[in-house]
Chains A and B, each alone.
Chain A
Amino acid sequence: MTNSSGRAEKLSSSAGSIVFDADVLVLGGGPAGTWAAISAAEHGARVVLADKGFCGTSGATAAAGTGVWYVDPVPERREAAMASREKLGGYLQDRRWMARVLDQTYAQSNQLAEWGYPYPADEDGKPQRNSLQGPEYMRLMRKRTKQAGVTILDHSPALELLVDGNGVVAGAAGLRRQKGDRWAVNAKAVVIATGGCAFLSKTLGSNVLTGDGYLLAAEAGAEFTSMEFSNAYAISPAFGSVTKTLFYSWASFTDEQGSVIPGASSKGGRSVIARALRKGPVYAQLDQAQAETQRHMRASQPNFFLPFDRTGIDPFTERFPITLRLEGTVRGTGGLRIVDDSCATTVPGLYAAGDAATRELICGGFTGSGSHNAAWAMSSGYWAGQGAAEFARQLGTTIGRQAFRRGTVGLRSGSGQPMHGGALARSVQDEVFPYELNYFREAGRLGDSLRRLDGLWSEASNAAASDEQELLRAREAAAMLATARWMYRSALARQESRGMHRRDDYPEPDDRYLHLVTTGGLDDVWTSARPLVSAQYSEAAE
C-alpha cells in the first residue's frame, strides 16, 4: 500500500474529520517522537506525527534544553559513565542497555552535527556535544522530520487508540484544536512518544505532559514499570516556572527570619527543603557563585534568569522565595514497559519512546535528568521508529481491516454527571503534590490517598461523555488520575527506600526488593514483581 510520494495518504476530509492512511503513526513530537518519525521514514514507512502542541516548541526539551549523555567511545570513560549512577539508581539498571544507549546517542549526536546543529567548540577547538539548546534543537528536528517526508499534525492531541479484532494496534484518533474538528489515522504500527506526566505543575514546558499516552496505551492493555519512581520535585522561584535545580548548587537556603536552614541543599538536602516548606516560606540566594560561574550561568541558560530579570531580583545578591514543583515521571523513571530491543510494548503494534517509556533500563530508580533522559529520548525514539516500520512491513496489506476505538473514560457515555476536567485535575493534584504524600511516603497515607483516587476513578468512569470543548481536559485529567493510581500502587508494593522512592516506614533499601515493579489496569490496578535481567542470567547459569 505505498503511494508514489512515500507520504501518508489523506483518505478523506468530510465535514468534522480528516482521515489519513499511514504505515507508522507517531504520537508526540518532542525529541523521542521526531527521532522515531525520522527513523521510521528512513526505514521505508509512510509516517504521520501528531502533536498536542506544536512539534518544535512543545514538550520538556523544547522549553528547557538538555544535557546529553554523550560519552566518547573510550572504554574507561564509558565504564565510568555507566558506573557513576548505579548506586543512585539503586542497582536496578541494565548494563547492556546502558552500553546500547551510549553507542546510539553518540551516533545520533554526531548526526545532528552533520545536519547543522551548531555545536560549539571549546577553547581547544574540540566540539562540545554533551548538551543541546532546547528551542534550537527542536526547531532543527521539526525541519528534518518534514524533510524526511513525515506528515505533521500540530495542535492535534491523540485521544484514543484504534485496535483491530485481534488486539493489534491499528491507529489512533484525536482532535485538531485549531481547526475545530477531529482526526483519525489508520496505521499498521503506533509509537507512543507523548512524554511523561508532570500533573500540570507548571514545571518548565511540561503542562502539555499529562500522561495521555499512558492512558490510551493502558486502554489497549499495555503495562507499566517503575511507576513508584515518579516523585521528582524540582526547585524554582515560588512564582515562576523555571525549574533548573542545578543552579541552586550555589544557593544558601534560609527561612522567613533569614536563618540558614541546616542541611538544606539542592543536592541531597532537597528533602530538608521540602520539610521546611511545610512549615513556612523558604528563600534562596545564589550567593556562592563566583563571577565566572555567574557569567557561564547567564551565557549557557538565558531562560534561568527570566523570572529574576523580570521581577527586578538579583538572585546572586538578594533572597527570593522558592518552591518545589512536582515533575512526576518527566524526571522520574517510570513509564510504559518495553519488552525488546525495538522498544515494543506488551501490545502488538504498539511501541514506546522517550519519557512515555520507562527509563529504568539506564537510570534504575533515580532521575535520568541532567543527561540520561535526553540520551534515552534520542535512542529509544530511533529504535521505536525502526521497530514500528519493521512491524508495519511484516504486517503487509491491511485493506478491509476493521478498527475499533479503545478510548473509555470521558469518551464513552456512562450514566453519571458529565466529567469536569479542571475539577478532576485539581483533585488529583491534591493527592500528588503534597510532600507528606508523595515525597515522604508511608503505607497509611498512601493507602488513604489511593482510596480517594479509586473513588475518583469510579466516578469518572461512570461519567457521561464530555462535550467537545471539555474533551481534551477531561482526557488529560483522566490520564493524570490513572497515572497517580499506578504510582501509588507501585509505591505501596515497594516496602523499602530505593532511588527516589522514599518510605518513612521503610527508610532503608532492602535486598528482597531488588526487583522491578510492574503495574497496569484501569478499573482494577494491579502490581507484580519482575526479576532484574542480571538476576535472570545468574539463575540460568546456576
Chain B
Amino acid sequence: MIELIVAERCTDCGACIEVCPANVLDPGRDGLPILARVEDCQTCFMCELYCRADAIYVAPDCDRRVSVSKDEVLASGRLGQYRKHSGWDEWAEHFPNEQWLMEAVFRRAAEAAAQPKARKPGVTGQK
C-alpha cells in the first residue's frame, strides 16, 4: 500500500490525487497530498507511474500497513524505478515497451509445461 510521499520531491502537481483509482489521496492544506485513506489502497502502483517527480513509494504489502523509512527508501533507488522500467515519459527511448516479449514467454511456458511431465503430473495447458 502507498506509504510515503517524499515532501522535498513533491511538486504538488496533483496528478496522484487525480489518477488514483481508489481515491486514496486528498489535497492537503499546505500543498502536499495527504494519504487520507491508505486502507483503500489496492497496491496497483499507478500513482507511481504518474508522478513525474518520483516522490511516491508504494510498499509491496497489500494487506497490511508497514512502517517505511524515508531515508531507506531514498537510498534504495526504488523511487521512480517502476516508471523508468515501464518506459514512461522521459524513459520512453531507454526502456521501450517490450510487453510483446510475452509471446515468447508464453510459448516457452507452454513448452516448460509440456516437458517434465514426470515432475509435474496433471498438466493441462491452462493459462
Contact = CB atoms under 8 A, between A and B. Distances in A.
Interface in B86-126: 86, 88, 96-106, 108-109, 112-113, 120-126
A296 interface: yes
B103 A302 contact: no
Interface stretch (A36-44, A130-138, A404-412, A443-451): A130-138
Given A59-B21, A128-B103, A302-B82, A269 B122 contact: yes
B44 interface: yes
User: Which of A62, A67, A267, A272 has the largest number of chain B CB atoms within 10 A?
Assistant: A267
A178 B62 CA distance: 24
A133 B45 CA distance: 14
A247 B112 CA distance: 11
Given A270-B126, A367-B126, 18 more contacts: A53-B20, A67-B103, A120-B98, A130-B100, A131-B102, A135-B88, A202-B42, A207-B40, A239-B63, A240-B43, A241-B43, A267-B113, A293-B105, A296-B98, A296-B102, A300-B102, A309-B81, A370-B127
Interface in A300-318: 300-303, 306-307, 309-311
Contacts of A241: 42-44, 60, 62
Contacts of B74: none
A132 B99 contact: yes
Contacts of A285: none
B44 A300 contact: no
A57 B98 CA distance: 20
A526 to B, nearest CB: 31
B99 A303 contact: no
Contacts of B81: 309
User: Which of B60, B82, B108 has the largest number of chain A CB atoms within 10 A?
Assistant: B60
B42 A208 contact: yes
B62 A263 contact: no
Nearest to A500: B126
Interface in A319-361: none
A366 B126 CA distance: 9
B121 A300 contact: no
A208 B122 contact: no
Contact of B86 (A135, A267, A297): A135
Nearest to A272: B122
A250 interface: yes
B44 A263 contact: no
A130 B104 CA distance: 11
Given A135-B49, A250-B112, A265 B120 contact: yes
Interface string B15-35: 001111111000000000000
Interface of A: 52-54, 56-59, 62-63, 65, 67, 88, 118-120, 122, 128, 130-133, 135-136, 154-155, 177-178, 202, 204-208, 237, 239-241, 245-247, 249-250, 262-263, 265, 267-270, 272, 288, 293, 296-303, 306-307, 309-311, 366-367, 369-371
A159 to B, nearest CB: 15
B78 interface: yes
User: Which of B59, B124, B127 has the largest number of chain A CB atoms within 10 A?
Assistant: B127
Given A54-B21, A269-B122, A309-B78, A135 B46 contact: yes
A439 to B, nearest CB: 14
Nearest to A136: B97
14 contacts: A57-B20, A62-B44, A120-B96, A128-B103, A132-B99, A154-B18, A207-B42, A267-B123, A267-B125, A267-B126, A296-B104, A299-B101, A300-B99, A306-B82
A343 to B, nearest CB: 25
Contacts of B22: 53, 207-208
A57 B105 contact: no
A288 B112 contact: yes
Contacts of B82: 302-303, 306
A132 B102 CA distance: 10
B104 to A, nearest CB: 6
Contacts of A298: 85
A246 B106 contact: yes
A174 to B, nearest CB: 13
Given A54-B21, A57-B20, A249-B112, A205 B42 contact: yes
B33 to A, nearest CB: 12
B121 A208 contact: no
A473 B47 CA distance: 22
Contacts of B98: 120, 296, 299-300
Nearest to B88: A135
B120 A310 contact: no
B97 A63 contact: no
Given A136-B97, A239-B60, A265-B120, A246 B109 contact: yes
Contacts of B97: 118, 120, 133, 136
